[in-house]
């Protein structure tokens, strides 16, 4: 018998090798208590959270929690059904209404996760004979959506407008084309030149989908994301987003002005063939989205946090993923996986949690310590974070 697991042997060996160096397993961490959006107890120790994408700190918002408790009491624990059968409750409609208002768009469709939103929309709208043109550094959910559909997939170099334009011009003029972009790329925290990319895409007759998972709630005048910030939101055909970052719950969505958009509810398999979100989750999400519309003070503080962390880490001598703070993600580049894992463990020892990101999730084979800031991080916490980075960096020998 061939052991189907033998294909994982190399990964198993790499993992065992890493653990043999005495490093705690970075991928099996448990949050024993969560005290606030920025503090948890890990290994019995109070730890500052700097890797949760909880950008606006909505997870413990009083109004959000109250809305969830009320829905739990009134509508029960779960829906036990698909959105197109018995799984659409009043709360799901209210959540979609909140999204339509938030983005100023005609249609909104809520999925059970952000992953499923990309999987469903991309695989359904681009079919046989159509082309999907995507940035090579696209998120796994975008690639998986491509793999699930029947379209031809064309990749272009990360954030390279010219490479995109060249490829668009080589495709058959009359073929259906979907250009898939992200507002903020989650590994390095860099922002896409959406304005130029959307211009060349429109010129080539392509439809455009932008994943704004890492920008919703704090980039753009109304927190609608990078497309809003760059003044091109009206040219985007489909915005994909998630509730598991700024909104602070779980779920995914697509908003659009396409006049035929509602047909998606019948043809999109990751929407149809799964149970809908629990009533408490959609109620929390709707309350959170409505609060995110009016949040300019919190947004301002988040930007301050991001800028001071970026500046501080650079001054300490760390190598960063972007030349300036472009989002609430600051990526610290590690020399290799072993040093990265050691640094990650040293930070945790010092009471600081960040994400350890490694290939294949990262671009260019990099090992990253990815930091995501929260609007609820105080200025003192940011100073504390820098202090811990300095101590750990010196102990591991990176700075």
Distance from C-alpha of 174 to C-alpha of 130, rounded to nearest angstrom: 10
Q: For the packed helices 194-203 and 161-170, what is the interaxial angle rounded to 10 degrees?
A: 10
- Is 289 in contact with 95 (CB distance < 8 Å)? yes
- Which of 69, 157 has the CB closer to another protein? 157
* x/- letters, 35..74, toward another protein (CB under 8 A): ----------------------------------------
- Piece of the chain touching another protein by CB under 8 A; list 255-263, 320-328, 356-364, 376-384: 356-364
**Alpha helices, H only, 4-155:** 9-20, 62-75, 90-103, 114-125, 140-148
| Angle, CA of 10, 137 and 182, to the nearest 5° | 140
Count of beta carbons in the 10 Å neighbourhood of residue 322: 16
Cα distances (angstroms) measured from residue 17 to each of 20, 26, 353: 5, 13, 23
Least distance to another protein, CB of residue 10, Å: 14
By CB under 8 A, what part of segment 168-197 binds another protein?
Answer: 170-171
Which residues have C-beta within 8 Å of that of residue 345, sequence separation ≥ 6? 23, 24, 26
Least distance to another protein, CB of residue 131, Å: 8
By CB under 8 A, what part of segment 138-167 binds another protein?
Answer: 146, 152-157, 163, 166-167
What are the structure tokens assigned to 81, written together? 């059904």
| Angle, CA of 138, 144 and 145, to the nearest 5° | 90
Among 19, 31, 136, 383, binds another protein (CB under 8 A): 136
Q: Does 298 bind another protein (CB under 8 A)?
A: no
Least distance to another protein, CB of residue 2, Å: 20
- Piece of the chain touching another protein by CB under 8 A; list 73-81, 99-107, 270-278, 363-371: 363-371
# binding residues, another protein (CB under 8 A): 18
Distance from C-alpha of 113 to C-alpha of 277, rounded to nearest angstrom: 9
Least distance to another protein, CB of residue 353, Å: 29
- Which of 85, 364 has the CB closer to another protein? 364
- Which of 170, 260 has the CB closer to another protein? 170
- Is 218 in contact with 373 (CB distance < 8 Å)? no
- The values of phi and psi at residue 44, to 5°, are 75, 5
Least distance to another protein, CB of residue 375, Å: 35
Least distance to another protein, CB of residue 132, Å: 9
Distance from C-alpha of 94 to C-alpha of 103, rounded to nearest angstrom: 14
- The values of phi and psi at residue 2, to 5°, are -85, 125
- Which of 103, 156 has the CB closer to another protein? 156
Among 319, 364, 394, 397, binds another protein (CB under 8 A): 364
- Which residues contact another protein by CB under 8 A? 131, 136, 146, 152-157, 163, 166-167, 170-171, 360, 363-365
């Amino acid at each position: 018998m061939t052991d189907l697991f033998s294909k994982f042997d190399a990964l198993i060996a790499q993992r065992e090798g890493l653990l043999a160096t005495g490093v705690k397993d970075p991928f099996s961490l448990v949050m024993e208590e969560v005290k606030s959006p920025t503090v948890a107890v890990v290994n019995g120790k109070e730890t500052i959270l700097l890797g949760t994408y909880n950008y606006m700190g909505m997870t413990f918002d009083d109004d959000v929690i109250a809305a969830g408790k009320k829905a739990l009491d009134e509508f029960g624990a779960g829906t036990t059904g698909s959105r197109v059968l018995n799984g659409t409750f009043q709360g799901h409609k209210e959540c979609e209404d909140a999204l339509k208002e938030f983005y100023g768009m005609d249609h909104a469709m809520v999925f059970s996760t952000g992953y499923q939103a990309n999987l469903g929309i991309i695989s359904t709208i681009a079919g046989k004979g159509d082309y999907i043109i995507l940035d090579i550094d696209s998120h796994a959910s975008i690639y998986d959506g491509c793999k699930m559909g029947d379209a031809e997939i064309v990749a272009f170099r990360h954030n390279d407008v010219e490479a995109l334009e060249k490829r668009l011009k080589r495709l058959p003029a009359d073929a259906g084309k979907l250009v898939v972009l992200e507002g903020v790329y989650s590994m390095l925290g860099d922002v896409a030149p959406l304005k130029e990319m959307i211009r060349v895409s429109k010129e080539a007759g392509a439809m455009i989908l932008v994943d704004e998972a890492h920008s919703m709630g704090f980039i753009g005048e109304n927190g609608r994301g990078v497309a809003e910030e760059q003044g091109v939101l009206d040219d985007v055909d489909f915005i994909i987003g998630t509730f598991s970052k700024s909104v602070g719950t779980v779920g995914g969505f697509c908003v659009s002005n396409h006049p035929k958009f509602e047909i998606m509810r019948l043809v999109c398999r990751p929407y149809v063939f799964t149970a809908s979100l629990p009533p408490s989750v959609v109620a929390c999400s709707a309350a959170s989205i409505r609060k995110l519309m009016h949040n300019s003070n919190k947004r301002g503080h988040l930007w301050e946090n991001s800028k001071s962390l970026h500046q501080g880490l650079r001054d300490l001598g760390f190598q960063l993923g972007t030349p300036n703070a472009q989002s609430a993600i600051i990526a610290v580049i590690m020399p290799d996986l072993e040093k990265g894992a050691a640094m990650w463990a040293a930070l945790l020892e010092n009471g600081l949690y960040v994400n350890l990101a490694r290939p294949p999730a990262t671009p260019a084979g990099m090992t990253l310590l990815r930091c995501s800031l929260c609007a609820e991080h105080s200025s003192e916490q940011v100073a504390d974070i820098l202090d811990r980075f300095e101590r750990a960096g010196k102990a591991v020998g990176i700075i």
